[in-house]
């Protein structure tokens, strides 16, 4: 059984438009780029969201607009 208390939240540090490069169900490895957050007016990348550790994506935020501290992904850690 998977305990949701063990999920790892991957949050944005900036507000903007998020382009997700992975989706729910994907396996990611530590350091893998999961998404880019861009500045709405310029299109410049202001944050690169990376996997904090190896895991399976259990949740992916489904709106292109993110705010600071949005839970963009939740990972099930691979042990």
Give the DSSP per-residue string, 4-58: GGG-EEEE-SS-EEEEESS-TT-EE-TT-EEEEEE-TTT--EEEEEE-SSSEEEE
- Predicted TM-score (pTM) of this structure: 0.91
Could you read off the pLDDT of 22-79 as tens digits, one per residue?
999 999 999 999 999 999 999 999 999 999 999 999 999 999 999 999 999 999 999 8
- Give the confidence band of 4 by pLDDT, cuts at 50, 70, 90: confident
> Which residue segments constitute the domains of the chain, with CATH numbers given?
4-77 (2.40.50.100)
């Amino acid at each position: 059984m998977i305990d949701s208390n063990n999920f790892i939240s991957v949050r944005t540090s900036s507000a903007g438009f998020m382009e997700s490069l992975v989706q729910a169900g994907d396996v990611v490895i530590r350091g893998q780029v999961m998404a880019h957050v861009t500045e709405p007016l310029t299109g410049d990348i202001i944050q690169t969201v990376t996997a904090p550790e190896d895991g399976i994506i259990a949740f992916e935020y489904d709106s292109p607009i993110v705010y600071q501290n949005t839970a963009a992904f939740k990972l099930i850690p691979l042990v």
